[in-house]
């Protein structure tokens, strides 16, 4: 790209293209301020593309206000490109106004309120159709319950087992050192049984299930939503909640208590190793004390709350799935949000249960 | 005869064991609008993707500006890709950013143009595809045809020397579709752009095609001008144009 001033005229020449504009851009505009040309001669411009046209338009817009500016002498083929790619007559779009923080705060609060309402609404539908689904299998595919039970339950066994074992083991190890100081070795059984049954079993399992299955539920439903599969189901006169959510709800209600029982058992084994190996408690004593300390109430509360956790995870997962906004990128967001929300909900619910049934 | 811009020799493309394209040889001439025709599922998209190395061809050779690209290293090939635009069959806009940003990305990352110039280019490209009103929208807020046009604007962002379009007018009304044809002719005439289009719209083919490539059963049945295609007396092509006429 070449440029020079002759009297009141700026003469541009050569190529005005993506490659040449960036280098010359600032020096040309500097010189425009000094020379204030009234005409621009394009006669020597050989090639021009949309970057070149945008450059001319920018000159025009900046200088037109200060006096009449004339472009002249462009060759026909250059003029044709200018006419096609000119941005001068285009309306300048108004950028979207962003909210102030106060407005945003109010908006967030309203949204949060709306969300809780919507979530409760969805929960009521899920409960309703789950009850109906117990009696009639209409609108559900054969085998979906078993498939979901395998997916949500048995495939979670290894990770639940591993983590519960480690937790039981570590918990006992930490207490063992203290207990040994007081010679209270045998109480390791009581300690372990109470923590595993009341807290660690249900809580650990719920967190694993929220991470594993809650995210799977949210992403499955969100994907179905953005790819219009949910709409397709509606058009086949199938209720998406009955078709998609209810089998998961039934499956998880059955599977969760089993997982928790399994988790407690494996945790006891992990702790038992410490009790027997490190604290010299005999196996029969350990088993006997563990059983004696565990009351029926403990077990009922433990399994009761784990069922509640399971329901919460399914409801929150489906809520974020159905709520997904935008296209494919919304799926990831919905999944993350659902995991965070369900782990939060599980911990809060657990606290409430602990306060109610100490 | 002038040098071919892209020359494809004995290209074979497979998905697993299944051969989709068998021994295709094509020359794309500079400044021409080449239309690729053929029934649904015959391998048109596959041909484009193999030429652009989005899928590795099973065998054969592809040359851009005389350079073999199949063995080329990443940096040299991306140098070629900067001179090529592609409109994908389903748009392939980046979903997490707005239309404006989608078009801005190649401009920001491949040029040093100042922002006000980029802004003008983006607005012009969008108005060329008649989508000025959707500038700050997100892809998920657009209709199918709007996504297609936004994607075309993105493909045009850098004024590519070669433009590949996979069914640009699918899902568009006849008026918008005719306007896109106008645009394609303008681009060819004014920027000397070389354009390769997959389309099924007969009206469009009559308006824009300089050359036609007809694929069927993994083979290339015909390669030449539209008039020659109509006179060639190849039954598949005759059927294609007779059934489609309205
Ligand atoms: N990812 C894939 N894996 C396996 N086979 C594929 C894949 N993509 C396409 N095919 C097969 O390759 C063949 C050609 O597909 P291609 O997408 O190229 O068709 P097309 O000519 O573009 O059709 P349309 O006009 O419908 O877009 C089809 O028969 C399809 O079944
Ligand atoms: Mg295709």
How wide is the angle at C-alpha A166 spanned by C-alphas A163 and A168, nearest 5°? 105
pLDDT digits (tens, 9 = 90+) for B225-242: 888 888 888 888 888 887
Band of residue A67 on the pLDDT scale cut at 50, 70, 90: low
* Res A8: pLDDT: 84
pLDDT digits (tens, 9 = 90+) for A222-253: 999 998 899 999 888 889 999 999 999 999 99
Question: A326 and B140 in contact by Cβ < 8 A?
Answer: yes
* Res A126: pLDDT: 94
Three-class SS of residue A155?
A: helix
How wide is the angle at C-alpha A66 spanned by C-alphas A60 and A71, nearest 5°? 35
pLDDT digits (tens, 9 = 90+) for B92-151: 898 888 999 999 999 999 889 999 999 999 999 999 998 988 999 999 888 888 998 999
User: Contact B184/B195 with Cβ under 8 angstroms?
Assistant: yes
Rg value, chain A, Cα: 35
Task: State how far the Cα of A65 lies from the Cα of A60, in Å rounded to an integer.
Answer: 9
Q: Give the residue ranges of DSSP H helices in A36-100.
A: 50-64, 76-85
Q: Show Cβ contacts of residue A299 under 8 Å, excluding neighbours closer than 6 positions.
A: A197
The answer, yes or no, to whether residue A139 has pLDDT greater than 80, is no
> In which residue are the tokens 């989709």 written?
B20
- The single-letter DSSP state of residue B56 is -
Of the ligands numbered here, which is closest to the C-alpha atom of B215? 1
pLDDT digits (tens, 9 = 90+) for A264-284: 999 999 999 999 999 999 999
Mean pLDDT to the nearest integer, A122-133: 93
Nearest CB to A80; choose among B158, B159, B190: B190
Mean pLDDT to the nearest integer, B157-184: 89
Chain centroid, CA A48 distance in Å: 47
* Res B235: pLDDT: 85
- The single-letter DSSP state of residue A95 is P
Residue ranges and CATH numbers for the domains of chain A are 2-85 (3.30.750.24), 114-356 (no CATH)
* Res B244: pLDDT: 60
The percentage of chain A sitting over the pLDDT mark of 90, rounded to a whole number, equals 65
Nearest CA to ligand 1 atom 22: B45
Band of residue B10 on the pLDDT scale cut at 50, 70, 90: very high
- B206 lies within 8 A of chain A by CB: no
Question: Which candidate, B25, B75, B63, B15, places its Cα nearest to that of B221?
Answer: B25
Q: In chain B, which residue's Cα lies nearest the Cα of A57?
A: B120
This prediction has a pTM of 0.80
State the CB neighbour count (10 A cutoff) for residue A43. 12
- The single-letter DSSP state of residue B89 is T
| Average pLDDT score, chain B | 89
Band of residue B246 on the pLDDT scale cut at 50, 70, 90: very low
Length reported for chain A: 358
**What are the chain B neighbours of A223 within 8 Å (beta carbons)?**
none
Question: B191 and A49 in contact by Cβ < 8 A?
Answer: yes
The answer, yes or no, to whether residue A95 has pLDDT greater than 80, is no
The answer, yes or no, to whether residue A315 has pLDDT greater than 90, is yes
**What are the chain B neighbours of A23 within 8 Å (beta carbons)?**
112
Mean pLDDT to the nearest integer, B37-57: 91
| Average pLDDT score, chain A | 91
- Smallest Cα distance from B244 to chain A, Å: 30
Band of residue A137 on the pLDDT scale cut at 50, 70, 90: confident
Reported ipTM: the value is 0.85
Question: B190 and A21 in contact by Cβ < 8 A?
Answer: no
* Res A207: pLDDT: 95
- The single-letter DSSP state of residue A174 is H
The answer, yes or no, to whether residue A311 has pLDDT greater than 50, is yes
Mean pLDDT to the nearest integer, B55-78: 90
Enter the tokens of residue A156.
Answer: 């979670």
Mean pLDDT to the nearest integer, A144-172: 92
The answer, yes or no, to whether residue A18 has pLDDT greater than 80, is yes
The residue to mutate among B20, B37, B90, B220, having the most atoms of ligand 1 within 8 angstroms of its beta carbon, is B20
């Amino acid at each position: 790209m070449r440029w020079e001033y002759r009297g009141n005229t700026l003469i541009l020449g050569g190529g005005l293209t993506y490659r040449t504009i960036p280098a010359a851009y600032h020096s040309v505009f500097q010189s425009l301020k000094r020379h204030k040309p009234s005409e621009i001669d394009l006669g020597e411009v050989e090639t021009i593309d949309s970057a070149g046209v945008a450059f001319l338009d920018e000159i025009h817009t900046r200088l037109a206000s200060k006096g009449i500016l004339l472009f002249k002498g462009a060759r026909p083929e250059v003029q044709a490109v200018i006419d096609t790619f000119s941005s001068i007559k285009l309306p300048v779009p108004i950028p979207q106004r962003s909210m102030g923080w106060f407005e945003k705060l109010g908006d967030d609060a309203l949204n949060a309120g709306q969300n809780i309402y919507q979530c409760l609404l969805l929960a009521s539908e899920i409960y309703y159709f789950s009850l109906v689904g117990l009696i009639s299998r209409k609108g559900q595919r054969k085998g979906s319950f078993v498939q979901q039970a395998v997916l949500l339950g048995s495939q979670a066994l290894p990770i639940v087992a591993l983590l519960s074992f480690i937790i039981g083991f570590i918990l006992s190890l930490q207490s063992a050192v203290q207990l040994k100081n007081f010679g209270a070795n045998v109480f390791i059984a009581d300690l372990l049984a109470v923590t595993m049954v009341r807290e660690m079993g249900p809580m650990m399992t719920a967190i694993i299930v929220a991470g594993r299955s809650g995210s799977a539920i949210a992403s499955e439903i969100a994907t179905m939503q953005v790819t219009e599969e949910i709409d397709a189901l509606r058009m086949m006169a199938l209720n998406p909640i009955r078709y998609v959510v209810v089998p998961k709800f039934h499956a998880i209600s059955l599977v969760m208590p089993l997982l928790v029982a399994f988790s407690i058992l494996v945790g006891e084994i992990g702790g038992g190793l410490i009790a027997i190996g490190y604290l010299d408690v005999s196996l029969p004593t350990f088993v006997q004390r563990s059983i004696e300390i565990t009351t029926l109430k403990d077990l009922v509360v433990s399994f009761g709350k784990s069922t509640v956790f399971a329901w919460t995870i399914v409801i929150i997962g489906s809520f974020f799935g159905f709520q997904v906004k935008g296209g494919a990128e919304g799926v990831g967001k919905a999944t993350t949000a659902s995991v965070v929300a369900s782990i939060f909900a599980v911990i809060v619910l657990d606290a409430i249960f602990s306060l109610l049934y100490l | 005869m002038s040098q071919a811009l892209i020359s494809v020799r004995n290209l074979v493309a497979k998905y697993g064991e299944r051969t989709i394209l068998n021994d295709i040889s094509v020359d794309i001439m500079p400044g021409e609008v080449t239309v690729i025709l053929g029934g649904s599922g015959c391998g048109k998209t596959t041909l484009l993707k193999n030429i652009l190395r989005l899928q590795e061809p099973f065998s054969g050779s592809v040359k851009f500006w005389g350079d073999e690209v199949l063995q080329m290293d990443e940096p040299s090939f991306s140098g070629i890709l900067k001179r090529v635009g592609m409109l994908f069959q389903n748009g392939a806009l980046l979903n997490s950013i707005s239309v404006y940003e989608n078009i801005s990305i190649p401009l920001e990352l491949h040029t040093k143009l100042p922002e006000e110039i980029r802004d003008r280019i983006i607005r012009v490209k969008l108005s060329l595809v008649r989508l000025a009103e959707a500038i700050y929208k997100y892809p998920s807020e657009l209709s199918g045809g709007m996504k297609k046009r936004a994607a075309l604007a993105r493909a045009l962002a850098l004024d590519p020397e070669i433009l590949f379009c996979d069914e640009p007018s699918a899902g568009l009304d006849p008026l918008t579709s005719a306007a896109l044809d106008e645009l394609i002719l303008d681009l060819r005439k004014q920027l000397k752009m070389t354009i390769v289009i997959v389309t099924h719209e007969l009206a469009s083919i009559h308006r824009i095609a300089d050359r036609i490539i007809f694929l069927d059963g993994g083979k290339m049945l015909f390669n030449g001008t539209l008039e020659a295609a109509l006179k060639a007396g190849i039954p598949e092509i005759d059927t294609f144009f007779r059934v489609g006429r309205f």
